[in-house]
Chain A
Amino acid sequence: MSEYKDSAVLELKHVGKVFDSGKDTAFRAVRDVSLTVRRGECLGIVGESGCGKSTLARMITRLTDVSEGEILLCGRDISKLRGRALRSTYRDVQMVFQDPYSVFSPRTSVGTFLEDALVYHGILRRREARQEAKRLMELVELPSGLMDRFPHQLSGGQLQRVVIARAVSIRPKLVLLDEATSALDVSVQKQILKLLVELQRMYGLTYVLIGHDLAVVRTISDRIAVMYAGMVVEELDAAELEQAMHPYTRMLLNSVFSVHDRGRKIIDLEEMRVSGGHTNTEGCPYRERCMFAGPLCAERRPLLAEKRTGHSVACHNITQLS
């Protein structure tokens, strides 16, 4: 166990995704992302919709092809695998999707859904899988009577528990949570997060938690990577989030709503300028919304550089910021 403690479960090396939608209208959804997730750790990835965080998750599970770079899962490059080899990597990496309703085939009962993963991964036979499914239902605190039910008879929170149970059932090395709690009520969201933390402790799981809600992501993450326009603009320990330097992260921090906020003072129009979308030109993608943008920002794309131990920022104006 201890020898794996610091070993990287997931390593992204200059991963990029280009969507070719025509002759010269290539859209770069993700560019040059390098991240490392160590065993037992939870990496949170935050960013607004369309920033490429889901595309990144889909590339790690290879539901989308990887255009550039390498994805190392436990030291093995999975970015070009196909067919049987790819299927076998799904024993090590699982994903929980945003909408639990869409993950179930309407004709598959909850029990069968749980069994299938164990059976098709060749871990257990159908009968044994049935027993294991019962145990899994208990694990996620659902009555085993629900196993014969069909997905439309369960609530979103219950379904998401089932999905998590299935993801965990095959003991993967990495679980990707793609907005896993975004579609749920706030109270249910909290329960699910609690469950995730418990499971992580129990099985020593490694998570990549993707979300747009900084407050949710930071509660269970050890490290946080902030994405903007397909790039990681800042990476730091979750505990040091208050010391974030990048103007975009600062804006995100200021945008987190709290019930304790009152009145309209929280809405600062200057910060709310919305960009004109991704720009394919060189230069910092955030410069149009950034209040510190200078001439250099338009010329050169800032690279992620370590400012302190475990804290990297991609910005030209760091000195000014701190």
Chain B
Amino acid sequence: MAVKIVDEKCKGCTKCVKSCPFSAISMNGRLAVIGESCSRCGVCVKECPFGAIEVIEEEKKAIDLSSYKGVWVFAEQREEHLMNVTMELLLEGKKLAKDIGTKVCAILCGEHVESLVGQLFSYGVDKVYLADHKELKNYRTDAYTKVIYEAILTYKPEIVLLGATHIGRDLGPCLAVRCNTGLTADCTKLEIDPEDKKLKQTRPAFGGSLMATIVCPNHRPQMATVRPGVMDKAEYVKGKEGELIRLNVHFEEGDIRTKLIRIVKTAGEIASLTDAEIIVSGGMGLGSPQGFDLIKKLAKKIGGTIGASRACVDAGWIEHSHQIGQTGTTVRPKLYFACGISGAIQHLAGMQDSDNIVAINKNESAPIFEVADYGIVGDLFEVIPAIIEELEKQ
């Protein structure tokens, strides 16, 4: 695909220059010119009032992609426990597999993790590829890449999904290069094109202010990492069975070039944020670190977990583990209280899919009100105590 300016039609209005998310268009006199940073997103095509911008489809090389079958999910485990994102990927993988008419499989790496195989079947996996080896006990890039790459080469899945965790975002890029295929990072939506059965991967860019749908048309497998907490989890149905395939794993001297010395756990709060049904979040409107005392009071009253905007974390008012947004944690609770949060795009990207959002802010034009179900314009130091008081009456 390429985007081209039709010189005869261009009137030099500069609308396309302003619309381009990548600053790829410049003016050469009264003629728009598309530069190197063009990503072929096509935003300018719609913007041009004169139809002077065209998308040209390039001829595609015919590669036989039909030998690749099945949707694979990287079943991420830590300390013999499946990560929540694994179950989210399984449900998503099942939907995709159904739309293509294929099976959903899990690839599981670890040491003594056979007990997880049954769990994966119960979550609806048709086939589990198991790599059980002492070198796979804890994640290390080289070890996991080698094993999974070899499995991909042998069994040829058409789609491979990984959680966009610190592990998935380390493993995914490495696998993609080894397999000579594309990888789409941090997807928030996956769907199968009903016509050509290809995977359409949607992800946020520019801190969540732009969404892009990405395809990998001529390479296999199609690979994506998926943001944890964005999708629903697969249902656990006891007693389900499937097929188990044990992978032949062996390592040679020099295969693994990093040594894990130790694992240190410092915070346990992130898990509770993604799992929380109610979150009470504070922003710069709190005025000082002490403002979080009021947030805590409300959270305690309604059984909520504490969240925060990036600005508060950057200001050192609260730990990073509380941060919600594009660079923090993505949450989807039943109820989200945004107190004194203006609603920067980065923040909205991490919470706007909450079932219900209540926003309290002094500024009536704060963007947070655009996504709120209920908005109260007012001083949070008056409104929150009034809410607590009202709750106590019940």
Q: Say whether A and B bind each other.
A: no
